[in-house]
Structure formats: structure tokens, C-alpha cells
Amino acid sequence: MTHSFHPTVLREYDIRGIIGETLGADDARAIGRSFGSMLAEAGGRKVAVGYDGRVSSPMLEHALVEGLNASGMDVVRIGMGPTPMLYYAEASAEDVDGGIEITGSHNPANYNGFKMVFQGRPFFGADIQELGRRSSAGEWVDGSGSVEDRDVIDAYIARMLEALDGIDPASLAGLKVGWDAGNGAAGPALEKLAARLPGEHHLLFTDVDGEFPNHHPDPTVEENLADLRNLVAEKSLDFGVAFDGDGDRIGAIDGEGRVIWGDQLLMVFAEDLLTRRKGATIIADVKASRALFDHVAAHGGEPLMWKTGHSLIKSKMKETGSPLAGEMSGHVFFADEYYGYDDALYAGVRLIAAAARLGKSVTELRSAMPPMINTPEMRFQVDESRKFAAIGEIAGRVAASDAVADTTDGVRVTTDDGWWLLRASNTQDVLVARAESESEEGLARLVAQIDEQLAASGLEPVTESGPTGGKL
């Protein structure tokens, strides 16, 4: 028996598709067979499985467990919850060798997918391609595994609360925070967490609903933070925190309603951590502000720019021994007192802890950040066969000039005006552009440079197409 996947579902960082069109139960069963076979050959025996609140998730979970069992894997079912709760179940249990979360993350309701961890490391890239190859070849181990249910949510909450150890609860008694679960899988865990946190907490949309009736659960899109911003204003809260559909990405609003973007959150976390870990390497992706890298250096840390992608970042953390990393997308990874995976609920608790230890409100910390002017993340469609080739052409032209460039992931060029970035997405047929300056005039010059490079490769300029087809 063999199984072939739709060519679009095996992505760089995870497996993802449209239910009923490119992804279904047979795919889930084959994923279980192949993942289980690979784990068995590596000496593993037991896999934790969780799922998010999407309508299709229970169906996929059932088929996945069947596939894992058929490869001889014992399965620990942790039920519905956020992706980081699955990561916790894998990282905290000595008898668990791998984990799979069924989740569509921040994608529309008709999507679903799989995020995987293999013996404590991210399962991505070549691993996913090997899974596909094994499925096509029917190269599966045969066996018969068991199934057990394991309730981990209370232990997960208790572990997150350790982030407040050493902080006087009295100093947090007046804290007022808003939280928006976006009807995603983090809702029930958030309710339990908030009930045990000091201070006053106001919760939005904690009912899990896979149709996401209130707003799309992507906290990196400002319009999705409107309800949270209104809550913070109405209740005069200190700040607000929002999550994506599976609870591994964080967004935040300060007390004045300003967005605190992913790199700005990392500035707060880094400043706090570096008071205890001088000289630590702090990693951020290539889309992050120069202000972040400068901030890390100013507080005695070693800033490291790395490739975008949560699996790539986690792997680099292990390689360098970095205790903290983050992405513009809102993935934040703590490995100082935690397990090194991305957990938005834990990041919310760490934000409370950081502000308390630094003796400043979140709003004060946000106000102290330098005023950088930047574009949104501009995404525009480019044929899959052209996207990496175009970036290669641009890198070649930049290298032949006297420009200061970093080619860690795409091309990031630094000028007197600031910097601009062009990179190919690893998950979609798009190029991603971003630019940042200290002035509007400087930003315009940087965007013009992006346009010049795109035109030289026969592509539409960003000032015409914009991130979604409209003028910037």
C-alpha cells in the first residue's frame, strides 16, 4: 500500500492543506504511518497527539492515530488544545519520543495541517520530504500500538506560572490585562491561566469555534487587534495580548492602544533576560528591526540575525545555545527557564514578569523604543519557479555593487537611509519585501530601490502591487 500527497501540502515547516480539496483522512493516516516508521527506526516508541478547534481536526486526529498505531507507535492523546501544550506534553514526559499537533494555525477555517516534533527537535524541511517519499514508496514499519488519554492542561498551566517565581505577588496585584484568544485552541487554557494570575484579567473570545466568528486569529494583522484595542481602552487596562489560532504566536497592544510588534516584544524580553544572562546570544529573523539588534547589543547581548521560520529558528537556538529568539510573525522562543519552543501563552506571562522585573509598565517600555518608520510586510505573488531564481538574480546584482548586504535569508541591504529586504517565502508562491528608515523620505528611497531590483528581474514594483494588490 502507498500514498501520494497533493503537491502543495508538504511545506517547509509543516504539512498544510485545504480540507476536502488537498487534505483529508487518508493523508493523515499516511502521515501517521510514515512519521511512526521514521520514529521507530530511530528507537522511538510513543507519540503525543493533540489538535486545535477546527471542525476537521477530530477527523484528522482519528486517522492520524490509526496510522501511528499501524506503525507500532503507542499514542498519548492529549485532546484539544494549543500547539505549545502539545510541545509541552512531548518535552516534559520522559516516555514520549515525538509529538504531532493537528492545526491550521492562523490560516482560514477550511485549512488544516500538522506540526511535528521528533525526539525533541523540530521535524521540518528534509524530514517532511522524507515522510512524503516513504508514503509514496509504502516504506512503512508494521506494528500494533496502544492508545491512552492523558490530561496535561493543569500541569501545563502550572509550568507556565513558574515564570513569575521570585516576583512579589503584591507588586502585580494592581495589574490589569486584556487577552484575546480569537476563538482559537488557546481559549480553555487561557481561562485556566488567567484564573491563577495575580491582578485583573479580561478575556475575549475564549469559546473555541473553528469558524472564527469574531475575527481571523492572526495577531500580526492590525485589524485583527481591533477588539483587543477597544477592550484595553474601555477598561483602562495596562496592556493586551492576542493569540493566533493554535496559540504559538503572540500579538500585543500597550495601554495607549499602540501595537507592540514581534521584534518590539523581543526587545522587552531581551532587556529583561540580559540583566541575568550577560553576553547571551539573542536571535531574530531577517525581517526584524535594526532597533532590536542595536537594543540587544546595547544591553550586553550578542544579536544574531537568522532565517525566517519557526523550525529554522528553533534549530539555530539549539546550535548556538541561545536562550531567547523571536520572529516578526509573533513566534517567541524561551530556552532560559523553559523548553525552547514557541508558546504565546507563556510569552504573555513573561511579558508580565519582564515589566515587573524592569520596574516599568509595558506602555513605558513601548514608549522608550526608537521611532522607526517601516513598511508593512509586503507580499506579492511570483510564480513558484521564479521566486528563488529572482532572489538569486537580485543577490548577484547587489554583490556586484558596493552595497552592504546580508544574504542569510534573501537579500537585506543596509544604506544610510535604513534597510530593505527581499526574500522568497518558503511556504507560498510569494516574494516578501520590507523596508525601514528613520524618515518618510528615507523610506521612499528604500522602496524605490526595491522597485528597481524587481524591475530588473522583470517583476512588478511593490509601489504598484502592494501587499495585497493595492497601492501603498
Per the domain annotation, does 159 fall within a domain? Answer: no
- Asked whether residue 236 falls in the same domain as residue 325, the answer is yes
Please provide the average confidence, as pLDDT, over all residues in the chain. Answer: 94
Alpha-carbon distance of 272 to 357, in angstroms, equals 7
Clarify whether residues 195 and 335 are in a common domain: yes
Whether residues 344 and 222 fall in one domain: yes
**Cell match 516508521: residue?**
37
Give the chain as a 3 state SS string.
CCCCCCCCCECCCCEEEEECCCECHHHHHHHHHHHHHHHHHCCCCEEEEEECCCCCHHHHHHHHHHHHHHCCCEEEEEEECCHHHHHHHHHHCCCCCEEEEECCCCCCCCEEEEEEEECCEECCCHHHHHHHHHHHHCCCCCCCCCEEECCCHHHHHHHHHHHHCCCCHHHHCCCEEEEECCCCCCHHHHHHHHHHCCCEEEEECCCCCCCCCCCCCCCCCHHHHHHHHHHHHHHCCCEEEEECCCCCCEEEEECCCCEECHHHHHHHHHHHHHCCCCCCEEEEECCCCHHHHHHHHHCCCEEEEECCCHHHHHHHHHHHCCCEEECCCCCEEECCCCCCCECHHHHHHHHHHHHHHHCCCHHHHHHCCCCCEECCCEEEECCHHHHHHHHHHHHHHHHCCCCEEECCCCEEEEECCEEEEEEECCCCCEEEEEEEECCHHHHHHHHHHHHHHHHHCCCCCHHHHCCCCCCC
- Number of structural domains, the chain? 3
**Range 70-75 average pLDDT:** 98
pLDDT digits (tens, 9 = 90+) for 402-461: 899 999 999 999 999 999 999 998 877 889 999 999 999 999 999 999 999 999 999 988
In a domain, 162, yes or no: no
Q: In the block, which residue shows the cell 532565517?
A: 307
Residue 467, pLDDT > 80, answer no
Of 325, 350, 367, which residue is a domain's last? Answer: 367
Which of 367, 399, 419 delimits the end of a domain?
367
Examine the domain organization and report whether 361 and 389 are in the same domain: no
Task: Tell me the Ramachandran region of residue 385: left when phi exceeds 0, alpha when psi lies from -120 to 50, beta otherwise.
Answer: alpha
Percent of the chain with pLDDT over 70: 98
Which of 339, 371, 332, 372 lies closest to 354, judged by CA? 332
Q: In terms of C-beta density within 10 A (0-12 exposed, 13-18 middle, 19 or more buried), how is residue 400 classed?
A: exposed
Q: What angle do CA 157, 162, 166 make, to 5 degrees?
A: 150
Hey, how many other C-beta atoms are within 10 angstroms of the C-beta on 458?
Answer: 9
Choose among 131, 88, 121, 132: nearest CA to 311: 121
Nearest to 218 by CA among 116, 78, 111: 111
Same domain, 245 and 343: yes
* Residue 10 placed within a domain: no
Mean pLDDT of the 117-124 span? 94
Mean pLDDT computed over 63-83:
98
Torsion sign across C-alpha atoms 204, 210, 213, 217: positive
For the record, the C-alpha cell of 331 comes out as 513566534
Q: What is the pTM assigned to this prediction?
A: 0.94
Write the CB contacts of 8 (distance below 8 Å, at least 6 apart in sequence): 17, 22
294 phi, psi to nearest 5 deg: -65, -40
Indicate whether 137 and 204 sit together in one domain.
no
Q: Which residues are catalytic?
A: 105
Q: Is residue 92 part of a domain?
A: yes
The last residue of a domain, from among 367, 391, 412: 367
CATH number at residue 453: 3.30.310.50
pLDDT in tens, 183-196: 999 999 999 999 99
355 is a domain residue: yes
Name the band, by pLDDT with cuts 50, 70 and 90, for residue 466: very low
Tell me: do 93 and 213 sit in the same domain: no
Same domain, 227 and 345: yes
Shared domain check, 254 and 110: no
Structural domain including 134 reads 15-151
- What share of the chain has pLDDT > 90, as a percent? 90
3 falls within a domain: no
Same domain assignment for residues 22 and 129: yes
- Please state, in angstroms and rounded to a whole number, the distance separating the CA atoms of residues 300 and 348: 24
Query: What does the pLDDT look like over 365-379, one tens digit per residue?
Result: 999 999 889 998 888
pLDDT band at 381 (very low <50, low <70, confident <90, very high): confident
CATH code of the domain in which 124 resides: 3.40.120.10
Nearest-CA neighbor of 182 among 161, 213, 157, 151? Answer: 213
**470: pLDDT strictly greater than 60:** no
pLDDT at position 357 over 90: yes
Burial 337-358 (b: 16+ CB within 10 A, else e): ebbbbbbbbbbbbbbbbbbbbe
**Same domain flag for 188 and 300:** yes
Same domain for 190 and 269, yes or no, is: yes
Can you give the length of the chain in residues?
Answer: 472
Does 56 map to a domain?
A: yes
The separation between CA 408 and the C-alpha centre of its own chain, rounded to angstroms, equals 19
Q: How many CB atoms lie within 10 A of CB 198?
A: 18
Q: 157 lies in a domain?
A: no
